[in-house]
A and B are shown apart, each in its own frame.
Chain A
Amino acid sequence: MEAARTTGSKPIIALIGNPNSGKTSVFNQLTGLQQKVGNFPGVTVDKKSGDLDLGLETAAELVDFPGTYSLYPTSKDEKLVVQTLSHPHDENFPDAILYVADVTKLEKHLLLFTQLRDLNIPILLALNMRDLAEQDGLQYDLQALERKLGVPVVFISGRTGLGMDDLKLGLANLLLKKQAPAGNFYQPSNEEKQLIAALQPDFPAYLPYQLLLLAHHQNWLPYLGVEEKAKIAKASTNTGFQDLQMQVHETMQRYGKFTPMVAESKMQGRSGGLSFTERLDRVLTNRTFGPLIFFSIMLLVFQSLFAWAEYPMTLIEDTFGQMGQWCRYILGSSMFTDLLVDGFIAGLGGIVVFVPQIAILFFLISLLEEVGYMARAAFMFDRVMQVFGLNGRSVVALISGGACAIPAIMSTRTIGNWKERLITILVTPFISCSARIPVYTVLIGFVVPAQKWGWFSLQAWAFMGLYLLGIVAALLAAFVLKLVLKTNEVSYLMLEMPPYRWPVMRNVWLTVWEKVKTFLIEAGRIILIISLVLWVLASFGPGQAMQKAEEAALVQAKTEQLDEDATEDLVAASRMEASYAGLLGKAIEPAIKPLGFDWKIGIALITSFAAREVFVATMATIYSIGHQSDEYSVRERMAKQKNPITGQKVYNAATSLSLLLFYVFAMQCMSTLAVVRRETKSWKWPLVQFTFMTALAYLASWLAYNLLS
């Protein structure tokens, strides 16, 4: 046997189990840092897989399938399991199955197992949560189970790593022997037998149970052609096949058969001590305290994203700044240096700067998920969120969006229903994120005077108003999207609430690592390209335009006897005006004039696509105060700007409010768009999102400007 095989020919082991079976812990135990994230063909579901060295010169690829209760799926994730396992030609069709079941709930966790068992694939049953079982004194006669179910059984704990060697040995044997379980668990009804007989000539490659699955799922299975679907539909009608009725019949027969097997194999102990969990839930899901505790936890999450992330973020910004300066020092000034420093290093810095927020959010979220709390949050907020077409879990994304939309959008992965998840992704950027604060700070003074109203300053009220506006926009947009988006996926709650457990830190760290890695590699690529484009736009102009502008500025500086800094600032402003970004700003002026914006604001709108806070720096450059780009100086400078034709102030209340509203609603963040693309696996949704957010921003700004002026 060849020890070294190519990746393509490695046998595939599918990791399958019910939700909450502890499948992820087992996956992490077996693959550790070897895991990678890819795509299942044709769907938006992530494929997590990892290389396995099983000993006995056997290697395999372990593919983690979404958790599901049966082969009758209701969500996209669950459909994937059926889609792959009913189709022997699928590229992920496994050579063997590792089925993970929670030993403390074995009576509930074997339905899917018996279904998989009828697919003629070698299968191993891993009874997980051995640590809990031993603690409760729960014991099964493993040999009896093996005999009754006809498959090898191992007893493991994904949390502690107990029994992992047995598991690996079992898997290696499974692959070497290639022996599928003998006989069928399920005895089809007469109608089903007739249907199988009718379909067999047309689908010779399929097993009897696979044929039944085809009949149940022919309306959505993507690999079936029109003709094949028609044949199946015809055969179903002819044999009087009633899909729901048959499903109930099959399910009940399977339970009827395996329930006594489980009972007879149980040696001692009662499974599932829930008293601790139930007592804790009396408080945590209490009608009054539950939501209060939830919001306190969210406040902590929010605080850590907002305040704690600040330090590493500043450190990253400074480091990349230093690196740039150092490169300039070593390489001297040239166009290549500019490209390297202002384009590449600055672009990379702009990506890495998100890592602290992503890492912190996922650390906390996966901690809450590990402990078992997230399911409670989903339960408590389900009703409220349903009104807006959202999921109970959307609350977490919406709240985190108040710090940064990027980790918030990445956190929607746990929302099973695709429509609810999509709506959450699409509306989260409406929530005012921390990058909007500098913009609000600069502009709010032009709209609201620095007076007090009650105990609070008027500006503080206005600030809060902007935040509320973002929340209202998110909820209203969600409501509209709920009505507009079509889906044939039925929404369910039916959520099993796992017992509270002490978190396994390995799982938490692996989640953080995976999220950071995917962001850097997949979204980072797009962000880097866009930031290079933005750099080119701001650094180059047509022909000699920028050089001429620079010369003119130098002459002007000389006649006005400006000092060195002021001269540099003037040159920077003139170059910016002559650059492609400047031209673009002027080109869009007719379109933004109805909002009260001039071309200078136009430039800022374009450059702040890199990140909203860039608005402040761009304003500083345009108004020739590049050396003092703090918010206070920028505001001072903006306050002095007068329209050359009318002589009136540029930043009057109308224009400023219009600009503020634009920043509340508009999708001005390429990084968010890149993450939305990554999460929805297409450019369609980021484009839709960009369009409706910009349209809303335009409308709101136009209304505000025209009402006030």
Chain B
Amino acid sequence: MVATVHPSEKLLSTAKVGYKSQVSHFKDTCMACKLLAMGILPGTEIELIRKAPFGGGCYVKADNILVALREAEAKCIVLRS
């Protein structure tokens, strides 16, 4: 699947710490399958709580679970704006 970047799309990886929104859709189907299995679905409330100490990683609250994501993984989550 080709990851096209639309200027209006808000990606989790570029969100500021504290940003809270809902998952709109995913950019990569393979990655999406894994996120779906963990319970991160379109419509899931998602909040970026903090970034990893050595950069890249995201500490995220998704509904009632806390999840650590790599930058590449956060990049495929498109948020509702």
Chain A interface (Cβ < 8 Å from any Cβ of B): 69-70, 72, 74, 104-105, 107-109, 111-112, 244-245, 247-248, 251-252, 255, 271-272, 274, 277-278, 281, 285-288, 290-291, 375, 378-384, 386, 490, 492-497, 499
CA distance A499 to B29 in the complex (A): 29
Q: Contacts of B64 on A, CB cut-off 8 Å?
A: 104-105, 107-108, 271-272, 274
Q: Is the CB of A287 within 8 A of B37?
A: no
Q: Contacts of A378 on B, CB cut-off 8 Å?
A: 68
CA distance A277 to B50 in the complex (A): 14
| Distance (whole angstroms) from the CB of A489 to the closest CB of chain B | 13
- Residue of B whose beta carbon sits closest to that of A372: B66
CA distance A245 to B38 in the complex (A): 17
Which listed residue (B37, B49, B68, B73) contacts A111, Cβ 8 A? Answer: B37
Q: Is the CB of B33 within 8 A of A72?
A: yes
| Distance (whole angstroms) from the CB of B56 to the closest CB of chain A | 4
Q: Is the CB of B53 within 8 A of A290?
A: yes
CA distance A255 to B38 in the complex (A): 11
| Distance (whole angstroms) from the CB of A616 to the closest CB of chain B | 40
| Distance (whole angstroms) from the CB of B54 to the closest CB of chain A | 5
Q: Is the CB of B34 within 8 A of A248?
A: no
Most interface-central of A108, A286, A384 (chain B CB within 10 A): A108
Contact with A along B19-56 (1 / 0, CB 8 A): 00000000001101111111101000000011111111
Q: Is the CB of A244 within 8 A of B33?
A: yes
Which listed residue (A274, A278, A384, A494) contacts B38, Cβ 8 A? Answer: A494
CA distance A287 to B49 in the complex (A): 12
Q: Contacts of B29 on A, CB cut-off 8 Å?
A: 244-245, 248
Q: Contacts of B35 on A, CB cut-off 8 Å?
A: 494
* Residue B69 interfacial (CB < 8 Å): yes
- Residue of A whose beta carbon sits closest to that of B35: A494
* Residue B16 interfacial (CB < 8 Å): no
CA distance A278 to B66 in the complex (A): 9
CA distance A281 to B70 in the complex (A): 18
Name 17 A/B residue pairs within 8 A (Cβ), A-sorted. A69-B37, A108-B39, A109-B39, A112-B37, A247-B33, A272-B64, A281-B66, A287-B51, A287-B53, A375-B68, A379-B52, A382-B68, A383-B57, A494-B34, A494-B70, A496-B38, A496-B65
CA distance A108 to B37 in the complex (A): 8
Contact with A along B62-81 (1 / 0, CB 8 A): 01111111110100000000
* Residue B61 interfacial (CB < 8 Å): yes
Q: Contacts of A285 on B, CB cut-off 8 Å?
A: 50, 52-53, 59
Q: Contacts of A278 on B, CB cut-off 8 Å?
A: 49, 61, 66
Given contacts A108-B65, A278-B61, A499-B66, 20 further A-B contacts (CB under 8 A): A104-B64, A105-B65, A244-B30, A244-B33, A251-B37, A272-B64, A274-B64, A278-B49, A278-B66, A287-B50, A378-B68, A379-B57, A380-B53, A381-B54, A382-B57, A382-B68, A383-B57, A494-B34, A494-B70, A497-B67
Knowing A70-B37, A104-B64, A383-B57, the reply to whether A493 touches B50 (Cβ < 8 A) is no
Q: Is the CB of B38 within 8 A of A497?
A: no
Q: Contacts of B41 on A, CB cut-off 8 Å?
A: 252, 255
- Residue of A whose beta carbon sits closest to that of B33: A247
| Distance (whole angstroms) from the CB of A131 to the closest CB of chain B | 17
Chief secondary structure at chain B's binding surface: mixed
Q: Is the CB of A496 within 8 A of B67?
A: yes
| Distance (whole angstroms) from the CB of A580 to the closest CB of chain B | 52
| Distance (whole angstroms) from the CB of A75 to the closest CB of chain B | 11
Q: Is the CB of B57 within 8 A of A493?
A: yes
CA distance A168 to B22 in the complex (A): 41
Q: Is the CB of A383 within 8 A of B54?
A: yes
Q: Contacts of A104 on B, CB cut-off 8 Å?
A: 64
| Distance (whole angstroms) from the CB of B20 to the closest CB of chain A | 13
| Distance (whole angstroms) from the CB of B47 to the closest CB of chain A | 10
CA distance A72 to B32 in the complex (A): 12
| Distance (whole angstroms) from the CB of A374 to the closest CB of chain B | 12
Q: Is the CB of B67 within 8 A of A494?
A: yes
Most interface-central of A69, A105, A378 (chain B CB within 10 A): A69
Q: Is the CB of B51 within 8 A of A108?
A: no
CA distance A437 to B80 in the complex (A): 58
Q: Contacts of A247 on B, CB cut-off 8 Å?
A: 33
Most interface-central of B41, B53, B54, B55 (chain A CB within 10 A): B53
- Residue of A whose beta carbon sits closest to that of B51: A287
- Residue of A whose beta carbon sits closest to that of B39: A108
- Residue of B whose beta carbon sits closest to that of A375: B68
Q: Is the CB of A493 within 8 A of B68?
A: yes
Q: Is the CB of B63 within 8 A of A379?
A: no
Q: Is the CB of A74 within 8 A of B34?
A: yes
Q: Contacts of B36 on A, CB cut-off 8 Å?
A: 248, 251-252, 255
Q: Is the CB of A274 within 8 A of B33?
A: no
CA distance A244 to B28 in the complex (A): 10
Knowing A248-B29, A248-B32, A383-B54, the reply to whether A494 touches B68 (Cβ < 8 A) is yes
| Distance (whole angstroms) from the CB of B49 to the closest CB of chain A | 7
| Distance (whole angstroms) from the CB of B46 to the closest CB of chain A | 13
Most interface-central of B30, B54, B63, B67 (chain A CB within 10 A): B54
A-B pairs with lowest CB-CB distance, top 4: A108-B39, A272-B64, A379-B68, A69-B37
Q: Contacts of B51 on A, CB cut-off 8 Å?
A: 287
Q: Is the CB of A72 within 8 A of B37?
A: yes
Q: Is the CB of A382 within 8 A of B38?
A: no
- Residue of A whose beta carbon sits closest to that of B30: A244
- Residue of B whose beta carbon sits closest to that of A112: B37
Q: Is the CB of A380 within 8 A of B54?
A: yes
Q: Is the CB of B38 within 8 A of A69?
A: yes
Most interface-central of A288, A379, A496 (chain B CB within 10 A): A379
| Distance (whole angstroms) from the CB of B27 to the closest CB of chain A | 13
CA distance A278 to B36 in the complex (A): 23
- Residue of B whose beta carbon sits closest to that of A255: B41
Q: Contacts of B71 on A, CB cut-off 8 Å?
A: 383
Q: Contacts of B34 on A, CB cut-off 8 Å?
A: 69, 72, 74, 492, 494
Q: Contacts of B33 on A, CB cut-off 8 Å?
A: 72, 244, 247-248, 251
CA distance A545 to B7 in the complex (A): 85
Q: Is the CB of A288 within 8 A of B68?
A: no
